[in-house]
Amino acid sequence: MRYALHAEWTKLRTTRGTGQLLLLAIVLTVALGAGTAKAVTCPDLGCGEDGVRLPLTGIVLGQAVVAIAAVLTVSGEYATGMIHTSFAAVPRRITVLTAKAAVLAATVAAAGTAAVLACLLAGRYFLPGNGFTEAHGYPPLSLADGPTLRAAFGSVLYLVLIALLSLGVATAVREAASAIGIVLGLLYLFPLVTHVVTDPAWQRRLAQVAPMTAGLAVQATTGLDHLPIGPWAGLGVLAGWTAAALLAGGVLLHRRDA
C-alpha cells in the first residue's frame, strides 16, 4: 500500500491538468461565495438569510470542477494506457483504487479547506456592510461558533465525498465524458426534478435522497426544523451514494480486463 500511495501521489502531483483544475475549483468557489456575500443584503432584524451559508454558496459551482478533476484521475489513465503500467506495478487492483481514493481525498481536502476558509473570510469582510450585523442578529463569522464550524468542516467533507463519488463512477464507466455526465447529472438534475414535481411530499422525498441537496444541508445554520433532512443525515446520504459508486467501481475493476 505504501508503494501504491507514493505512486498515486506522484501521478497526481505531476499531472498538471489536475492541479490546475483544483486551483480553478478554489478560485470559482471563492469568487461565487464572495460575490454572493457582497450582493445579498439584510436591511432588517431577522431578514431570514443564513449568514454562514451565503459565502459558502460557491461550493455549488466548485464541486463541478472537483468532480471533473476526480474523473480524470482515472479516465486519463485509461485514455493513455497508463492504467496497464499501474496494474503491472501493483497487481492488486483494489489496492490501486484504494490508493487513488486516499490520495485524491487528501488533496481535495486541502484544496477544499483553502476554499472554505477564504469564503468565510470574504463573508466576514462583506456581510457586516450589507446589514448582517449583531444588531440584526448576525454576529461576525467565526469558527469558534459551533454551527459555523460544522458548516465549514461539512463543506470540506462534502467536496471530498463528491471527489470520491466521481472516482467511483469513473472507475466503473472508464470513459471521461460519460462519467462526467453521470456525476453532474446526479448533482444538478435531481434539484431540477424536485422543482418540476408538484407534490410537496415527493419534493421532500427527492430532496432527501438527492446527493447535492441532501449533502449541502450540512451548511445550514438556521431554520434546521424546516430542512428536508438534517445536516449530518444529509451528508450521510451523500456518503451512501459515494460508497455505492466506489463499490460498483471496485467490483467492475476487479472482474473485467483493464
Contact 104, 12 (CB under 8 A): yes
What is the span of the domain harbouring residue 91? 2-255
Indicate if the pLDDT at residue 240 is higher than 90. Answer: yes
Q: What is the pLDDT of residue 199?
A: 76
Q: What is the pLDDT of residue 150?
A: 96
Domains held by the chain: number? 1
Total Cβ atoms within 10 A of residue 102: 16
Total Cβ atoms within 10 A of residue 252: 14
Q: What is the pLDDT of residue 222?
A: 86
Distance in angstroms (rounded) separating the CA atoms of residues 85 and 211: 34
Reported as half-sphere exposure (CB side, CA atoms, 13 A), residue 217 has a value of 25
> Could you tell me which of 84, 225, 241 has the C-alpha nearest to residue 165?
241
Contact 160, 109 (CB under 8 A): yes
Q: What is the pLDDT of residue 8?
A: 65
Q: Could you give the percent of the chain with pLDDT greater than 70?
A: 90
Q: What is the pLDDT of residue 134?
A: 81
pLDDT-based confidence at residue 191 (cuts at 50, 70, 90): confident
Indicate if the pLDDT at residue 187 is higher than 80. Answer: yes
Q: What is the pLDDT of residues 119-168, one digit of tens each?
A: 999 999 898 888 888 878 788 888 988 999 999 999 999 999 999 999 99
Indicate if the pLDDT at residue 183 is higher than 80. Answer: yes
Question: 0.85 cut: is pTM over it?
Answer: yes
Indicate if the pLDDT at residue 115 is higher than 70. Answer: yes
Q: What is the pLDDT of residue 90?
A: 62
Q: What is the pLDDT of residues 7-30, one digit of tens each?
A: 666 777 777 788 889 999 999 999
- Between residues 98 and 32, which one has the greater pLDDT? 32
